[in-house]
Amino acid sequence: MVPNMGARIVWLVGIFPARTQFEPWHADAPFACNRSAMAAELWASYKQWADVQETLFLDWADPSGQYKLSPMKDLPGADFATAFAICVAYVSFVVIGTLVMKAGVPAIKTSPLQFIYNPLQVVLCSYMCMEAGILAYRNGYSATPCNAFNAEKPVMGNVLYMFYLSKILDFFDTIFIILGKKWKQLSFLHVYHHLTIFAIYFMNFRVAYDGDIYATVILNGFIHTIMYMYYFVSAHTRDIWWKKYLTAMQLIQFVTMNVQGYFMVSRSCENFPHKVPVIYLIYIQSLFWLFMNFFIKSYCSKPRKSSNKKKTQ
């Protein structure tokens, strides 16, 4: 007989505390805590550095300090730390992803994702194009530069924020190219365009977020609508007769943007940060010549005839 068994069980439990049963789960707790603390410390140091760079850059781009009045400066992704991290991640993926895929990894089929992605881009780009046009019309904007710039209540604020975030979505173009091992499409023009357009619109979103910025949203949104329509159609057929006209339309877009940039620089529009149109003009010039070089090589240069003729038997 075992008298008062319940009391003995309670006594035994008291000798061996319950926490000893869970000690294996916490065997690496000091390491986990140190790792979390280290990650938090690294991020805090990076954020501190990035915040200093952000202030220096924005003060340089807009010495008047007008950008501090922006109601969108605290939106997700609006800080330099996030934007710079995204740029670094994009470049890292291009380099590392290319090396990995070229190391013998088979191409990954991305067509099911692209079947959804391309129509999504068509809807998004067409919406931003029309929204910017409607807002410009309702607020009496002119086709010529020096439209009203409202620093505290920007007319184009929301649509420009959407446009800025859409440039992150555009990075999937590169992801699909690398995963599909379509190396001919992974050109300097492609990477330069996707990386720098995101950086340029970070600047626009922070300091030039109203007024004449509407024109770039309309032009670029329209061209991208056509471009993603082409990508969707090209997934179902090979020969698309209007392919070269798409590049021609992009060149016309850049010419139009150059004209706008020139007038903005020459007129020194009030309240619009004066350095932004200069940077914008130089940047659009670089895109124009890169796309022009692509157009000439793709559609104007005749293929060279082989000098070695085949021998007839």
For the residues of 227-293, what is the DSSP string, one character each? HHHHHHHHTT-S--TTHHHHHHHHHHHHHHHHHHHHHHHHHT-TTS-THHHHHHHHHHHHHHHHHHH
Question: With bands split at pLDDT 50, 70 and 90, how would you rate the model's confidence at 57?
Answer: very high
Q: What sections of the chain are H helices per DSSP?
A: 5-15, 29-61, 80-102, 111-138, 157-169, 172-179, 188-207, 214-234, 243-267, 275-295
| Cα 120 to chain centroid, rounded | 16
Residues 198-245: tens digit of each pLDDT? 999 999 999 999 999 999 999 999 999 999 999 999 888 877 888 888
CA distances from 156 to 33, 58, 159 (A): 45, 19, 6
Question: Is 194 a residue whose pLDDT tops 60?
Answer: yes
Question: Is 14 a residue whose pLDDT tops 60?
Answer: no
**Rounded Cα distance, 125 and 166, in Å:** 8
Question: Is 39 a residue whose pLDDT tops 50?
Answer: yes
Mean pLDDT estimate for the chain: 87
Residues 259-309: tens digit of each pLDDT? 999 999 988 888 899 999 999 999 999 999 999 999 898 888 765 554 444
Q: What is the dihedral of CA 122, 128, 132, 133, to 10 degrees?
A: 20
**Rounded Cα distance, 269 and 136, in Å:** 17
Domain segments of the chain as ranges: 34-296
First to last CA, the chain: 109
Residue 37, pLDDT score = 82
Count, residues in the chain: 313
Residues 62-104: tens digit of each pLDDT? 999 999 999 999 999 999 999 999 999 999 999 999 999 999 8
Q: Contact at 8 Å (CB) between 150 and 251?
A: no
Question: Is 313 a residue whose pLDDT tops 50?
Answer: no
Burial label for 126, CB within 10 Å (0-12, 13-18, 19+), is middle
Burial 83-92 (b: 16+ CB within 10 A, else e): bbebeeebee
Question: With bands split at pLDDT 50, 70 and 90, how would you rate the model's confidence at 11?
Answer: very low
Closest to 133 measured CA to CA, from 220, 3, 16, 32: 220
Q: At what angle do helices 80-102 and 188-207 cross, to 10 degrees?
A: 170
**Rounded Cα distance, 166 and 163, in Å:** 5
**Rounded Cα distance, 230 and 122, in Å:** 10
CA distances from 238 to 38, 108, 109 (A): 52, 20, 18
Does the global pTM surpass 0.85? no
Question: What is residue 18's DSSP assignment?
Answer: G
Q: Contact at 8 Å (CB) between 272 and 61?
A: no
